[in-house]
Structure 1
């Protein structure tokens, strides 16, 4: 329909995204996965925090859960497609992806295991980047986890004999972690060279592993459970045979509670402590606290358990607990808890092994946990001093007076997750946070040194310079905008931003760089991203709402023309200096809770390389629009043609403005809902061309000038001909982290992939002469087979 004639608003109640629109609407129209009534829970409001961006996309079909099983099935499909490629299209399979970088930025580290036998050797769990090993006290890390397995990690632990255990799936429900759950516990008897799955495949996330120092065949696992679906494997589990089998020894009090912490008394291993957390993520709200949140103790090695309550709160307004035992005096315990809404609530101390507890005078400001105490959930006590305790928060907080007060320890990245002391080196402590890995030789009081080689950065986007594809920029989760102008393996430089989102390079001048933080707070720099910077965003552009990853793009037909979109498309004709709105609101609108997620935003925009008047636009509420007169009239694609889920990317054919592609997030869940669609008539009609791809979100699409179509998904990169049909895996050696963004450099045929957890990778795209033939859609299944068979020819 033409917007100049009809401004139809497809109501969110009839769209598949309705479940994410508003609490009231969803509660009345969507089945709730919890058996508890919503009236008994403490809702925290719709889409409150920025880390909901990835979840919102993948649940935009109205589904109520994101399970590890879905990803396992999608990875299985990807592996079968890769095997088919190796058989039928060997030149495609034999190409290798190469790691470009960065190695000096890092990413979220959620757990650390210190090798008790090998000096200076440590193992870490990267949130969505697998397990890594360092043999030089954390200066450099190398992979210790298969690239082709799920990269989502939650915990690591090692026996005194060097047997390494890894718990998959992250217990911190934020960022990419909640979309990439794990599939249980793994064991390695050769320090990470090989691994064996040993159980708890339905646990979704493992918050902590604890090994009995008296009998190391006894291993406890804190199974956090599926964030989206009640029940399943959750609670505290015990293996008596080194991980070969597991039995639950502490069941949660309800189906939405799981264990996040298990701690063994080093002087009396029969005494074991556990922290339980009642939490559930639903499409319309999160419940991150409740009656199940609690602390427990066992005095018979996990056989029986008692809830600790003497001096501790017993009401339902309890969020995630942190718990620690002082190694030099195990009668000294520390604990803290947040509220169900997220802010810090209180800090407690026990001097009698948990029989009684006293609240200490720690304030929310000292706790440094902002509004999301559930993101941290850990405490650590100096093994030589029961009065020195570290509290994880936005800042690293340290007390030297038994938790009577805390002060910040500087010199490290924000958002702390784990500390470990090296028993072989006095005063040495290791730290993992959202910025990577650090080491201190002063018991953590000061002198933190960051790792120099930690290639597990979580990227949202990447761009390369048209003038030289070795020059790259990208936006990283909690690690800002970054510039990689120092070649393969060279250091990357920070160039501003909070969370780094869209970052792009001027097509003709790589000194002009645009960088964006969350929600469209962007800048323009003529110093390769350095200062001075001109602001772009709320004060310069017109929009009522802006997406977490606000699209900012050049017009490929004119490098001085740019597009920026919130819920309204803005255009600049002077290279981003000034902006003019050229569209009405192209979304279904709100809800617009000021503390909620800004639903109803444009998520993708693309201009035709051959026609500067033609634009295609996609939204988070499943709409597609097109204009052939530079926005004087906008035409909405008939919603009946579309899947109705989040539009992740749109792209226009290099030589035909009437041919365009759109990709979609969410899972098909057995339906016919597509992930990749194509128009051949300028946007009027769209056809599914993604059949044969794994059933996983597609995050990016690139058509090449010689007839290929490249897509990046949560489970790899795949290629086909322009018209889809037969799909093949592209290359080998790309880690199984989600591919969030693809950037193709036509002159060199370099394809660059931004992964969420394993950095930036490159591959050379093969030439496929037969693929350039424009095949009728009804013939794509046969024609594309021949096209891909020609790939690699001269």
Structure 2
């Protein structure tokens, strides 16, 4: 059978849709699967995911979060809020690829930002207080009295890593401790790359040099000693309730008497490496920790409650029973339907940050499979894991070389499962429901993004083209050339196939010949989903600026309109329509899962 590509741009243009209007609101429903730099002011807390491009804000102490707009130009590396004017937020950061730095300023509580300072090197930290704002960079410390006009502070040390205000005194970590007090600079011996304080007690941490403590606001210092032997100090500081905290490769330790006696906690094992600790002014004993797996609240650093942030990178979505599952860069999360909270399941332990990327999910008849991209030694390895309780617990059933973004049950034979792979020119077939897999090697494959199955065979959306197999992958035939990101078979009519390229869509109504819809988007197109009534939804991803998010087609893919929305920002990796057709779920690049009513 010959497959034909026909260009009918005039007929298949991207045109406005006459479809009835539906609600336009997108809600971020979680999961709270991302960490972030923290800033507190009164009852507000702000979080900036590491190397992130937007700020999250909570006005109810972490129960719900509002996601701000994308930053102009840069990625964030530090965060500060004016304690007197809590809607004034500063972000330190860097511009991708050039090494230059930027300070952003918001006056609307982190909803939007504008550039107020550009520097030759990365801005590593910002600080605000006493109606002054400060920024640390390789050139030294910049200062502003109004947040808009900035100048290098005369005499400030080069190579500034961290800033910390204690009253009107400015402490700077720049290899050693420098203090700007009463208009004069003094330098002190302790090596430092991070500084914290409580009252007159100041703690300076150096990653390779340990922890130093001053009880007289930085005038004299002494080394902090404890029951650890490692010289690598992952975290060192003092919290608002007076606990000195030190985390090394040996563990996490707390002292309530300025280092005289120490208590070992299980924090390193439970939530991994600390980046910083903060707290609300009226709750010094209830501390928030930015760890490698998220943000957690604790009163003893033994027991943790996850409190944010809904900024996870979601790669896959599935529904099993009354459970909604999201596969992220740090594991999968599960919540009951209908989703009532941004906090999804949490077992008290942070997910592994390495080798725990859930690239694919599939569910059928009470069985859920997930493809976890990890490592066996130094080799990229797919671990197939199975759940019989809707994603609450998992058992590894198989492992094979590669990475995966696609996992699908055969609609006609429930024991047959297909698993796509990239980094190798192969894919996998299971004949026993995902317990074991056979490898199908094909030289033409360059990396499979999506597999779609119908009663007659399978379609492969591959970096080298669209492929068709009618014998469970034993043989393949290329249908379309060029990079393909996704493919979908209409469950109501298997002859209706939609293939998604980088910027174009290819549509077939006979399962044989395809028509191209060119220039659907200037952004990269991603996942595609279909509603029970046949409406198609298509995700897009922007690598510069805001994304259009989701596109919609009500004519089988012949034409597309923007469906929204501004809350999706950088774009969509996964799409899922509820079985009743009333809800669309979008797994986003940096905003967890968003939900929109379809009426």
TM-score between both structures, scaled by the size of structure 2: 0.74
1:739 aligns with 2:580: no
- Mark the CA change 1:220 to 1:394 in structure 2 (over 3 Å): closer, same or farther: farther
Q: What is residue 334 of structure 1 aligned with on the other side?
A: 205
Q: 2:386 aligns with which of 524, 541, 555?
A: 524
1:562 aligns with 2:404: no
Q: What is residue 454 of structure 2 aligned with on the other side?
A: 609
Q: What is residue 266 of structure 1 aligned with on the other side?
A: 166
Q: What is residue 282 of structure 1 aligned with on the other side?
A: none
Q: What is residue 104 of structure 2 aligned with on the other side?
A: 185
Identify the structure with the greater strand proportion.
2
1:700 aligns with 2:527: yes
Deviation at 1:476, TM superposition (A): 2.7
Q: 1:242 aligns with which of 141, 146, 170?
A: 146
1:535 aligns with 2:380: no
Q: 1:476 aligns with which of 328, 338, 348?
A: 328
Q: What is residue 463 of structure 1 aligned with on the other side?
A: 318
1:517 aligns to what SS in structure 2?
Answer: strand
CA contact (8 A) 1:169 1:183 kept: yes
CA contact (8 A) 1:712 1:739 kept: yes
- Mark the CA change 1:123 to 1:702 in structure 2 (over 3 Å): closer, same or farther: closer
1:166-217 per-residue CA deviation (whole Å, 9 max, x = no partner) reads: 345878x9xxx99xx99741222x6x28655252378998643212x4x42x
CA contact (8 A) 2:55 2:67 kept: yes
- Mark the CA change 1:698 to 1:500 in structure 2 (over 3 Å): closer, same or farther: same
Deviation at 1:742, TM superposition (A): 0.9
Q: 1:762 aligns with which of 592, 595, 599?
A: 595
1:556 aligns to what SS in structure 2?
Answer: coil
Q: What is residue 8 of structure 1 aligned with on the other side?
A: none
Deviation at 1:546, TM superposition (A): 1.5
Measure the CA separation in 1 of the matches of 2:525 and 2:264: 45
1:377-418 per-residue CA deviation (whole Å, 9 max, x = no partner) reads: x64323575x82344889755467659999444395334322
Q: What is residue 462 of structure 2 aligned with on the other side?
A: 618
Q: What is residue 134 of structure 2 aligned with on the other side?
A: 220
Q: 1:642 aligns with which of 464, 467, 482?
A: 482
Alignment length (residue pairs): 557
- 1:5-84 mapped onto 2 (5 Å cutoff): none
CA contact (8 A) 2:334 2:392 kept: no
Deviation at 1:358, TM superposition (A): 7.3
- Mark the CA change 1:658 to 1:632 in structure 2 (over 3 Å): closer, same or farther: farther
CA contact (8 A) 2:507 2:516 kept: no
- Mark the CA change 1:625 to 1:460 in structure 2 (over 3 Å): closer, same or farther: same
1:691 aligns with 2:519: yes
- Mark the CA change 1:273 to 1:330 in structure 2 (over 3 Å): closer, same or farther: farther
Deviation at 1:524, TM superposition (A): 1.6
1:258-285 per-residue CA deviation (whole Å, 9 max, x = no partner) reads: 86x432352662x54145xxxxxxxxxx
1:143 aligns with 2:4: no
Q: What is residue 537 of structure 2 aligned with on the other side?
A: 710
Measure the CA separation in 2 of the matches of 1:759 and 1:140: 15
CA contact (8 A) 1:328 1:384 kept: no
TM-score between both structures, scaled by the size of structure 1: 0.58
CA RMSD of aligned residues (A): 5.0
Q: 1:583 aligns with which of 428, 437, 441?
A: 441
- Mark the CA change 1:268 to 1:506 in structure 2 (over 3 Å): closer, same or farther: closer
Measure the CA separation in 2 of the matches of 1:264 and 1:395: 26
- 1:191-230 mapped onto 2 (5 Å cutoff): 192=109, 195=112, 197-200=114-117, 207-211=124-128, 213=129, 215-216=130-131, 218-222=132-136
1:651 aligns with 2:508: no
1:529-588 per-residue CA deviation (whole Å, 9 max, x = no partner) reads: 345x542332xxxx4x321x4432222343332112343221123322332223346556
Measure the CA separation in 1 of the matches of 2:155 and 2:445: 45
Deviation at 1:222, TM superposition (A): 3.8
Give structure 1 stretches of 5+ with no counterpart: 1-83, 224-233, 276-293, 313-320, 338-345, 370-377, 589-601, 665-674, 767-794
Q: What is residue 11 of structure 2 aligned with on the other side?
A: none
Measure the CA separation in 1 of the matches of 2:456 and 2:121: 48
- Mark the CA change 1:663 to 1:250 in structure 2 (over 3 Å): closer, same or farther: farther
2:526 aligns to what SS in structure 1?
Answer: strand
1:111 aligns with 2:37: yes
1:729 aligns with 2:562: yes
Deviation at 1:419, TM superposition (A): 0.7
Deviation at 1:717, TM superposition (A): 1.0
- 1:336-485 mapped onto 2 (5 Å cutoff): 336-337=207-208, 346-347=209-210, 349=212, 367=232, 379-382=236-239, 385=242, 388-391=244-247, 398=254, 407-410=264-267, 413-441=271-299, 445-446=301-302, 448-451=304-307, 455-465=310-320, 471-478=323-330, 480-485=331-336
2:36 aligns to what SS in structure 1?
Answer: strand
Measure the CA separation in 1 of the matches of 2:442 and 2:576: 29
Measure the CA separation in 1 of the matches of 2:92 and 2:476: 44
1:200 aligns to what SS in structure 2?
Answer: strand
1:99 aligns with 2:27: yes
Measure the CA separation in 2 of the matches of 1:131 and 1:430: 17
CA contact (8 A) 2:70 2:112 kept: no
- Mark the CA change 1:249 to 1:703 in structure 2 (over 3 Å): closer, same or farther: farther
